[in-house]
Structure 1
Amino acid sequence: MEIMVEIMEKFVATPGNFFVVDGDTINCNLNGQRIAIRLRWIDAPETPKRTTAEIDSQILAHWQWGDASKTFLTDLLANQTLIVQPYSQDFFGRWISDAYLNNTKLSNNIQSILCENGMCWHFLPFGIYDFPKRRHLNLYCRIIRKGEEAFRLKKGIWSVPNLLTAREVKELLTTTSQI
């Protein structure tokens, strides 16, 4: 399946023109068109999926953090202006993006704030080491540092020993047909 990708410029979404889907995805209204934003270099816990199957307690614990991450991001963005820098689209048509509160200072980067508060894991997709500008590398290093600080302080997801990652939950649900 080939995805048609247009180059998208940085854009601003004002309060009321975006909503949080989960801890790492935001839908924005841009000139009447819905744009799905997937925050770059992080992975938040999954939000609960509708199912009638019996669910493992580890998955339930993960889903609680999915809800907490979504709530945290919703509260963080309340009455704020969102600045989005899209880079490319993923398989699902979401724009892989950096997002900021009110201005593009690194300290206002949403991914680093989520990591700092233990609401997600940081990751760098396999084989992706192209940092076209020094700012991109600085941002990624900041995300890693904030995630490490949260881990050390046992904040958020790091307060739960052996919490399943989003990938582990997806794999477990797929192999046990609990989706």
Structure 2
Amino acid sequence: MICTLFVTATSLSLSGQIIGIKDGDTIVLLTDDNRQIVIRLSGIDCPEKNQPFGTKAKQFTSNLVYGKRVCVQTQSRDRYGRTIGTVYLPDGRILNNELVSSGYAWHYEHYSKDTTLQRLQQEAKKAQRGLWSDSNAVAPWDFRHHDKSSASGPPVVNYKTVTDVSTYIIYNTETGKYHAPTCRWAAQCSDNCISISLKVALRRGGIPCKVCYGTHKK
């Protein structure tokens, strides 16, 4: 794969092999001159790892680029030192667009006015692809804000002290968190959630939700 190298005041074209997948929108590029660069895909935001579809978004990205040569049109760096860019696949498709089109990423409208990403998101939402199959899907930036605002955390409960096996909660098999059935986060947990007794959830090492605290009071 040949990339056309061009340099402007804010943009550089890089080429190399993808050697790491941190999550759906963050990958590691090994450049042709043997540098490792963390690439944050521009204009999009994938679900967090502990959100529904977070794992699937990461796998989708891995299937498309891991071990393959790509071109990256860079834009800038973020506050974490990651290079922001658009990733071109060997067949010419754009990874950023593919994630949004397949319903594994949101168009990050706060930072991007890309009309193509806007259109692809509208189409994915209409077709209920990926995360859009959940009518209560939470944008990752809202999810991150929720986590930061709940930093105090829920109490730790020993399952051996719980005797009520008739209390059922919503348990996320991917994250290990459990919610009261009436919790708003339980309503958004559709991809990996099951209804089990509180005692069983605690035996599995379940972690109470930071909003509803499962069935426990703070």
- SS of the residue 1:38 aligns to: strand
Asked whether the equivalents of residues 19 and 66 of structure 2 are also in contact (C-alpha less than 8 Å), the reply is: no
Greater helix percent: which structure?
1
Partner of 1:101: 89
Partner of 2:104: 119
Q: Distance in 2 between the 1:169 and 1:155 partners? A: 20
The C-alpha deviation readout for 1:15-38, integer Å capped at 9, x for no partner, is xx4221111111112233321111
- Tell me the TM-score normalized by structure 1: 0.72
Q: Distance in 2 between the 1:78 and 1:89 partners? A: 22
Q: Distance in 1 between the 2:116 and 2:11 partners? A: 25
Per-residue deviation, 1:124: 3.1
Partner of 2:48: 46
- SS of the residue 1:18 aligns to: strand
Partner of 2:74: 86
Partner of 1:29: 30
Per-residue deviation, 1:8: 6.2
Root mean square deviation of aligned Cα: 2.2
How many pairs align?
A: 144
Would you say 1:12 and 2:22 are equivalent positions?
A: no
Gaps of 5+ in 2: 1-8, 154-209, 211-218
Per-residue deviation, 1:79: 4.8
Partner of 1:172: 146
- SS of the residue 1:64 aligns to: coil
Gaps of 5+ in 1: 1-5, 49-62, 130-139
Q: Distance in 2 between the 1:118 and 1:65 partners? A: 9
Query: Of the candidates 58, 73, 88, which is equivalent to residue 61 of structure 2?
Result: 73
Asked whether the equivalents of residues 20 and 66 of structure 2 are also in contact (C-alpha less than 8 Å), the reply is: no
Q: Distance in 2 between the 1:166 and 1:173 partners? A: 10
Percent identity between the aligned chains?
26
Would you say 1:159 and 2:133 are equivalent positions?
A: yes
Q: Distance in 1 between the 2:141 and 2:66 partners? A: 28
Asked whether the equivalents of residues 24 and 57 of structure 2 are also in contact (C-alpha less than 8 Å), the reply is: yes
